[in-house]
Structure 1
Amino acid sequence: MHTSTTKGLALLIALCTTFGGTDALAEATADWPHFGGDISDTKYSSLDQINAKTIDRLKVIWRAPALDPAVLTENPKLRPSNNYRNAPLVVDGVLYMSNQIGQVEARNPGSGELIWRQSNAVGESTPRRASASRAITLWGSGDAARIVSIRGAYLYLLVAKTGAVVTDFGDNGRVDLREDPKTVFTWNAPAPIVVNDVIVVGGQPIATGTGDINKASLAGDVRGYDAHTGEHLWTFHTIPREGEPGVETWENESWRQGGKTKVWSAFSADEELGYVYLPLSAPSNDYYGVARPGDNLYSDSVVALDARTGKKIWHFQTVHHDLWDYDLPTPPMLADIKVNGKLRKAAIQVTKMGYVFAFDRATGESLFPIIETPVAASTMPGEKASPTQPIPVKPKPFDRQGMNADQLIDFTPELRAEAVKIMNRYVHGPMYTAPSVAGGADGKLGTLYLPGWVGGANWTGAALDPQTGVIYVPSVTVPWIGRDNYRRPAEDKLYLDGPQGLPLVKPPYGRITAIDMNSGEHLWMVPNGDGPRDHPLLKDLDLPPLGQAGRAAPLLTKSFLFLGEGSAVGISMPKFSGGNMFRAYDKQTGEVVWEADLGAGTTSPPISYMFEGKQYILVSVGGINHPAELVAMSID
């Protein structure tokens, strides 16, 4: 491993002085050993070769396809997705990644050249539409370093130096994650994590023949496996079973049909405590809860487990009886911060709703008050919405909430009048207004709600500076439609266009918010990108940047916040989403200090690492007609 710079060590010493020497999260390192930079998911690197004096020299050094070209030669009918969402790892001078079909590849981090690629298991073929994992995991070091990954229905353990399977792990190097022959294992990239030699796995087994993940008959239980042998150690039931605490929150024994309530993104962990933190999803189905009355634990909950035993330490449910698909899309960020002058071990959870929840990661105690607040009842026949929802007093929301006339586009009186007409076709109201019947007696087309189920924040998460306790949250502002017939033709969108095809609400449509978690106060907010200000109806109005609703992931360094614009190739992307620009923002003010056109929108979280004495920024890009590729930048 390369050593940190003298400047980085000085910063670390200053940090330890400030925070009592307990926070190792900001330790200068040449590597990027975890999906979120560190096991605490801060997305932070203390490397500082790219700084205010050198940023003008930052440029693209190399580009490489996100799949070894030999795979396409070997499989000419293969159709890999351009929505490539993997964040590579860089450790001891090697870059490890999940390629576009989920195989692990090792590459040279200074050129992108292939070192090795994972082979198919015996009898395994290359599926035509396989996809990348958002993350893989490194366990161990040196000759004993291992890569942990999930591909298809299997958990793999590979030798990091060669890519060979570790034959004494599981069944010849892999563990079958299907619970029995009557199920399959489906997942949206639940990155495994290793905590004190235990591999923790999310995802969801689905009963064969259901054909619909939202009506799955099996819950997304979280499981622990011995990292040495692959032995199954424990299972945590994300939907409690008979006799378990929380089962009473599934009234009418609705826990028996269960479904979802899974980890579909990633985990974070505190290795010193031995705890792993679960961001759990909504229950099935996402928008209609008649068949599952009650609060439905542990859906939409942050859950802390003892990684050795799977025992629950604490939990907090952020949404009761979810009707909006407001699941937790990203793991909590962990850092030691001062709240009211007292150093606290914090777990900071950003949400699709625009709220930030902050907890003591050891005890689950809330670091700022949370108030159970009355919300409106549902008008859906048979629906029993929760009468209250938990609202944090601090920080204030980082994105707009609720639908009313004050939210609507108002660039011109004509556009505003048309926006009012569009909004009034739908039920609308404050935050947590429930979905409604489309085409009912009131003539409404359903419920218009904001933020929509894409957020607020989404799987791209936020970044946390462990030196200052400031978080940087990218978010989007797009209304969504909640109604009873949520399973509709593909051409019938869930999001709603506004007048003349413009957005329905005021800008910014994508933003970045800086929040001091020591005080809970907002520091600044800026739009992310230009948005539709060049639209024919707007181009003569001389508007400032309007932001765009792409899903962009942040990278935080000692000097800058790096952020792209997302890509239109992503899932459920509204109009005017994504863009080709990649930018460096001043962390103190939000001012853009550098930008570059990468030729396509960013699809993965950026990372930073040092290789042969040079700091790199690496991000993946892709578009509807632009193949997925890795783009590496450094100073010349």
Structure 2
Amino acid sequence: MPSHFLKGMTALAMVLAASTSAHAARPLTAGKAWPYFGGSHKFERYSPLSQINAKTIGQVTTLWTRPSVDKSLRDQFPDLAPSSYLRGTPIMIDGVLYSPNGVGLVEAFDAETGATIWVQKPFAPTLKEAAGQSTRGVDVWGRGKDMRIISIRGEYLYALDAKTGELIKSFGDGGRVSLNRDTPDHAAFFDFNGPIIVGDVVVIGGNGGGKAGGGYADGGNTKEAKPEDIRGYDVRTGKLVWTFQLLPPAGEPGHDTWGEAAAYAGNMAAWAPLSADPATGYVYVPTTSPTNPYYGGHRPGDNLYANSLLVLDAKTGKRVWHFQMVHHDVWDYDSASPPTLADLRINGRVVKAVIATNKTGLIYVFDRITGKPVWPIDEKPAPQSEIPGEHLSPTQPIPSKPPPYDRVGLTDDDLIDFTPALRTAALAVRDQYVHGGMFTPPSSKSAGPDGKKGSLLLPGDWGSGNWNTGAFDPETGRYYAVSMTMPAAIEVSKSNKPEDTIAYREGVDDGTRPAVRPPRNPWGYGPDGLPLVKPPYGRITAYDMNRGELLWVAANGDGPRDHPLLKSLNLPPLGNLGRPVALVTKSLLFVGDSSDTVLGGFGISGAGKFRAFDKATGKLLWETEIPAGTSGGPITYEVKGKQFIVVPVGSKAYGASWVAMGIQK
């Protein structure tokens, strides 16, 4: 069955003219600045700065820290309780850092000292308005007297004066625009990533189309849920410019991939960060699984545009091309990583490419203008489900190159083998479940002495990759994938509650989430609380993307070393679980430990480590202690001749802050 539709929109020469003068003076790529929370709109997470290098890294120390919420807000609202999950990754423009704080309000602070410049005021001076959740980033538009910071907080899109933090009153309703829309359960909009501005259009995704426990969320019990469509807003006025419907309406290509479910199904969204090409005006949208992510008997077909890389013209909202990476998802294999735009040299020819990954650990590489795969992507036969009413796709798209960045499928060779006894115990655990390749379907508990507890999947629904995966070095053509190796047991049971409208859902017979899922912290299913599979559990995988070849794999951290069954063993670094973000510079690759506050709780619960690797070999060159694990992406920039690295950190015990590092002069 086809994986994608291609649609020519305009000649490339016409598209190149789409860039607006408002952005002409703005740094579009990271150099001394860091203009977007992904480094640039291409989401390379790269900087050419080199003052901090292999020779000077030993001189790097902490220069300042800044709490996740400014003291002025805490003084005004003594009962304010910000989460220790500080998602906010700053941008840096003209010596000023701008970031969502621990409650989602934007703060501007001096990039050299960390001192406060301004703090966004709550829309109303109440604790209810002050309270909120942190988001991953903001964007900036314009220059001079009309330079704006655009952010998302709760169900609103905000426009702030970059110099003062005051609301731009001409934008929307007094400086903000409601993003709520009509849904079956009147659910409020929310998004953790923030907007991306392409030309004069603010493009937003979102986290889903209904309340948790209903159509929204991984354990939803209803089949009715409205998708969180992709929208574009005028950056000057806040007016809605266009809406792209993720579930194609009648008469549009893809509508027939839903059967009758097109009338009510949904919950697809783009909860991962978006990326954009300023030269073409195209925005690259990774989309999620539909409702319910573990059963789709009510939604026959491939279910476009779920689990896809979707490319839109940001000026019009029209689809340019798309590719569906998972057909008819029942594994929760979201396209959860930001697409990375990369100029590659393939067989001597420059290819303007996009690198797309998802929770499967597979990497898909396309010509970002046409959607043509750079290397063949083959539709391979996939196993079928035994759940009544479920009809899976007979094939799934598998890239021929590059190889996966984490373990794909569960075989005997994947199981832990530190000792013969652990190997035997791991086999016994594995054999309690249905298991096999990556697309092994979820199953129900079966009775009898040889009965199974469900299906054991690798990667699991928490993924190998996620929003943190991916950094690209445009000088060398190397791509760095950060992932964790985490299986998951998925059992689906027949729904039995009056309010359930979905035939099967994840859980045991009483409708609760199953006991066979792993503890959120630390390691999951293996013998005596150890991992079930071989390390590294938190890993960095480097590729030469000009050839589509894997170069090296390195463990990020020591992993579970204090277990009684491991203390006498001479083991290499095993890697820590979590979702840390990579930063690549002229000569180094930086990755920290992940925080236990990051969704899933897999990270470090106390003080963490921040590390520098040789980006060519993966050799660990340096590590330093930070107050807690990282909870957002590290950035780097230069002010007054000094290179800084700033990273958000947080833990349940510590709280949260931004930590700035550099060479003390």
TM-score range, shorter chain: over 0.9
In the alignment, which residue of structure 2 is the partner of 1:186? Answer: 189
Q: Is the 8 A contact 2:434 2:456 kept in 1?
A: yes
In the alignment, which residue of structure 1 is the partner of 2:19? Answer: none
Q: How far is the alpha carbon of 1:25 from its aligned partner?
A: 10
In the alignment, which residue of structure 2 is the partner of 1:196? Answer: 199
Q: Distance in 1 between matches of 2:66 and 2:303?
A: 45
Moved more, 296-305 or 53-62: 53-62
In the alignment, which residue of structure 1 is the partner of 2:569? Answer: 541
Supply the AA of the counterpart residue of 1:294. G
Please list, as runs of the form range in 1=range in 2, the aligned pairs for 1:416-495 lying within 5 A after superposition: 416-439=423-446, 443-485=451-493, 486-487=506-507, 489=512, 492=515, 494-495=517-518
Q: Does 1:618 align with 2:646?
A: yes
Q: Is the 8 A contact 2:605 2:653 kept in 1?
A: no
Give the 3 Å change call, closer, same or farther, for CA 577–369 of structure 1 in structure 2. Answer: farther
Give the counterpart of 1:152 among 147, 151, 154: 154
Supply the AA of the counterpart residue of 1:621. V
Q: Distance in 2 between matches of 1:267 and 1:198?
A: 14
Give the 3 Å change call, closer, same or farther, for CA 296–206 of structure 1 in structure 2. Answer: closer
Q: Distance in 2 between matches of 1:140 and 1:471?
A: 31
- For structure 1, the 5+ residue unaligned runs are 1-23
Q: Is the 8 A contact 1:79 1:128 kept in 2?
A: no
In the alignment, which residue of structure 2 is the partner of 1:596? Answer: 624
After TM superposition, the score normalised by the length of structure 1 is 0.92
Q: How far is the alpha carbon of 1:71 from its aligned partner?
A: 2.5
Q: Is the 8 A contact 2:159 2:168 kept in 1?
A: yes
In the alignment, which residue of structure 1 is the partner of 2:14? Answer: none
Q: How far is the alpha carbon of 1:454 from its aligned partner?
A: 2.0
Q: Does 1:277 align with 2:272?
A: no
Q: Secondary structure at the match of 2:406?
A: coil
Moved more, 483-492 or 148-157: 483-492
Q: Does 1:243 align with 2:246?
A: no
Q: Secondary structure at the match of 1:213?
A: coil
Q: How many residues of Structure 1 are paired with residues of Structure 2 in the alignment? A: 612
Deviations 1:27-60 (A, max 9, x none): 6621111010001000001111111221111111
In the alignment, which residue of structure 2 is the partner of 1:230? Answer: 238
In the alignment, which residue of structure 1 is the partner of 2:114? Answer: 112
Q: Is the 8 A contact 2:77 2:127 kept in 1?
A: no
Q: Distance in 2 between matches of 1:268 and 1:416?
A: 43
Q: Is the 8 A contact 2:648 2:656 kept in 1?
A: yes
In the alignment, which residue of structure 2 is the partner of 1:138? Answer: 140
Q: Secondary structure at the match of 2:51?
A: coil
Q: How far is the alpha carbon of 1:190 from its aligned partner?
A: 3.5
Q: Does 1:556 align with 2:564?
A: no
Q: How far is the alpha carbon of 1:188 from its aligned partner?
A: 3.8
Give the 3 Å change call, closer, same or farther, for CA 205–289 of structure 1 in structure 2. Answer: closer
In the alignment, which residue of structure 1 is the partner of 2:599? Answer: 571
Q: How far is the alpha carbon of 1:378 from its aligned partner?
A: 0.8
Deviations 1:350-409 (A, max 9, x none): 221111100111000000110000011111121111110000000011111111222111
In the alignment, which residue of structure 1 is the partner of 2:359? Answer: 352
Please list, as runs of the form range in 1=range in 2, the aligned pairs for 1:7-46 lying within 5 A after superposition: 29-46=31-48
Give the counterpart of 2:68 among 66, 69, 94: 66
Moved more, 477-486 or 505-514: 477-486
- For structure 2, the 5+ residue unaligned runs are 1-25, 494-505, 519-523
Q: Distance in 1 between matches of 2:598 and 2:611?
A: 19
Q: Distance in 2 between matches of 1:365 and 1:585?
A: 34
Moved more, 626-635 or 141-150: 141-150
Q: How far is the alpha carbon of 1:577 from its aligned partner?
A: 8.3
Q: Is the 8 A contact 1:565 1:578 kept in 2?
A: no
Give the 3 Å change call, closer, same or farther, for CA 398–180 of structure 1 in structure 2. Answer: closer
Q: Distance in 1 between matches of 2:330 and 2:211?
A: 26
Q: How far is the alpha carbon of 1:76 from its aligned partner?
A: 3.2
Supply the AA of the counterpart residue of 2:133. S
Q: Is the 8 A contact 2:606 2:653 kept in 1?
A: no
Give the 3 Å change call, closer, same or farther, for CA 153–245 of structure 1 in structure 2. Answer: same
Q: Is the 8 A contact 1:80 1:128 kept in 2?
A: no
Give the 3 Å change call, closer, same or farther, for CA 468–433 of structure 1 in structure 2. Answer: same
Deviations 1:338-358 (A, max 9, x none): 112211110001221111100
Q: How far is the alpha carbon of 1:534 from its aligned partner?
A: 3.0
Supply the AA of the counterpart residue of 2:150. V
> Percent same amino acid among aligned pairs?
47
Q: How far is the alpha carbon of 1:431 from its aligned partner?
A: 1.5
Q: Secondary structure at the match of 1:189?
A: coil
Give the 3 Å change call, closer, same or farther, for CA 574–152 of structure 1 in structure 2. Answer: closer
In the alignment, which residue of structure 2 is the partner of 1:377? Answer: 384
CA RMSD of aligned residues (A): 2.1
Please list, as runs of the form range in 1=range in 2, the aligned pairs for 1:278-357 lying within 5 A after superposition: 278-357=285-364
Q: Distance in 2 between matches of 1:142 and 1:381?
A: 62
Q: Distance in 1 between matches of 2:337 and 2:305?
A: 16
